[in-house]
Amino acid sequence: MSTLSLAVDRLLTLGTTGHHPASAIAGVRTDSGTEVEAGGWAKLPVGDAPGVPMARETLLDLASVTKVASTTTLAMRLVAAGQLSLEAPARRYLPDFDGEGKDGVTVEQLLTHTAGLPPWWPLYCETRDRDTALERAQALPLAAKPGTEWRYSDLGLILAGHIVERITTLNLADAFRRLVAEPLGLTAVYGPVPAERAAAGGDSDAYEFGMIATGEPHPVPFTTDSFTGWRRGELRGVANDGNAAHALGGVAGHAGLFATVDDLLTLGAAVRGGDLVPHAVLARFATPNAVHPEQAVGFRCRRLEVGGQALTVLHHGGFTGTFLALAIERELVVAGGAMRLYGTLGPIPASLTGPTGGTAPDVTGLVPGTDIQGVLLDAAREALAD
């Protein structure tokens, strides 16, 4: 078996009984070529209904990989064009982003999770209108002084995506299509997409339903009755992320993009190779953040040891189980994932109502995203060593 076939087998067996990912796919691009392997079910067999096997051309719900594949890449293109400054206050582009402490928030801080924004806020509990949701995201008070701590927050990338929209005067989906997908010949697109083209990314809205019901890991002043649009069935071709799907029309800076693994490999190669943005711009975005050195601009950053050489790797994972990474010093891009929320969580528990009632979905057995990333990086390391 090939290295990637073995990696797919490893991905499919991660976790405990009842929590194994339903599907997995792994792709690596090096100077020797590109290889992609897939396994499992894009749609699980149910009763007499046949399943749909995972395939190389299957679209993945990228979840937070959208942060780098779309928003960060678009930001790099705008910086290269002189239309966006990372050092500028966010208010230069978003005049409504005001209030105590916000004058000092820079675009870079939005992209590095150091703006002091709350870690999570279910905008859909307040509105399902996209424009109103973006206004609400700008109005939320800061949770920390800007530039003093790293606090992972979807809100910063939601606002960064809106800055892209303000600069380009395009909806984010159109900006991605014109500035990234079309120049590179990608099939990647914001959803919703036809279900038959995609891998299911979740069983239902059970995870976020449980977050609101229990207040874990981020307490919010809502109950599960604050929102009436909970999806109780399979999520295929639509964003798993609640804010993207319910409040932002499927198009957001933090989630909502769908892509094949080949799309991600092509994108990663274009970014690292200078075909899409100048090397100097990539180097600026690859700079580790002083507050949190494992964070670069948009990307996370780490070192990968290969044959005695330490490579700088820019990467990002997605909550559905997706992953994209690219090396700076050598031609290496790795992408793929394992759909860890599909076939593992089930429907929203019917008994769960309000912040204290019933039993929340069991999430303790879910495969950690870091385990998925570890398998893919191991495969990349072996590909370079071959």
**Token pair for residue 144?**
């920390």
pLDDT, average across residues 273-284: 97
Q: Number of folded domains in the chain?
A: 1
Sheet holding 332-338, edge to edge: 52-53, 33-43, 23-30, 332-338, 322-327, 309-317, 300-306
What pLDDT does 1 receive?
65
pLDDT digits (tens, 9 = 90+) for 23-44: 999 999 999 999 999 999 999 9
Q: How many CB atoms lie within 10 A of CB 80?
A: 16
Residue 109 lies in domain: 3-385
Q: For 46, how many CA atoms within 13 A lie in the half-sphere containing its CB?
A: 8
What pLDDT does 100 receive?
87
pLDDT, average across residues 143-147: 97
- Could you tell me if 37 and 26 are in contact, meaning their C-beta atoms sit under 8 angstroms apart? yes
Kindly compute the dihedral angle of the four CA atoms of residues 19, 20, 23, 26, in this order, to the nearest 10 degrees: 130
What pLDDT does 349 receive?
77
Burial of residue 221 (number of CB atoms within 10 Å: 0-12, 13-18, 19+): exposed
**In terms of residues, how long is the chain?**
386
What pLDDT does 358 receive?
42
pLDDT, average across residues 321-329: 97
**Side chain identity at 89, as an amino acid letter?**
P
pLDDT band, very low/low/confident/very high, at 354 (cuts 50, 70, 90): very low
pLDDT digits (tens, 9 = 90+) for 63-76: 999 999 999 999 99
Q: For 5, how many CA atoms within 13 A lie in the half-sphere containing its CB?
A: 2
Q: Where is 314: in which H helix or E strand? A: strand 309-317
Burial of residue 359 (number of CB atoms within 10 Å: 0-12, 13-18, 19+): exposed
What whole-number distance in Å separates Cα of residue 369 and Cα of residue 11? 11
Which CATH number covers residue 273? 3.40.710.10
- Could you tell me if 104 and 225 are in contact, meaning their C-beta atoms sit under 8 angstroms apart? no
What pLDDT does 59 receive?
98
Q: How many CB atoms lie within 10 A of CB 308?
A: 5
Please, what is the average pLDDT of the chain?
95
DSSP SS3 for 241: coil
DSSP SS3 for 46: strand
pLDDT digits (tens, 9 = 90+) for 96-143: 999 889 999 999 999 999 999 999 999 999 999 999 999 999 999 999
**CA Rg value for the chain:** 20
pLDDT band, very low/low/confident/very high, at 357 (cuts 50, 70, 90): very low
pLDDT, average across residues 1-16: 94
Task: Kindly provide the b/e burial profile for residues 114-146, where b requires at least 16 CB atoms within 10 angstroms of the residue's own CB.
Answer: bbbbbebbbbbbeebebeebbebbbebebeeeb
What pLDDT does 308 receive?
85
pTM of structure: 0.96
**Token pair for residue 378?**
């191991």
Burial of residue 367 (number of CB atoms within 10 Å: 0-12, 13-18, 19+): buried
What whole-number distance in Å separates Cα of residue 155 and Cα of residue 139? 11
**Side chain identity at 122, as an amino acid letter?**
P
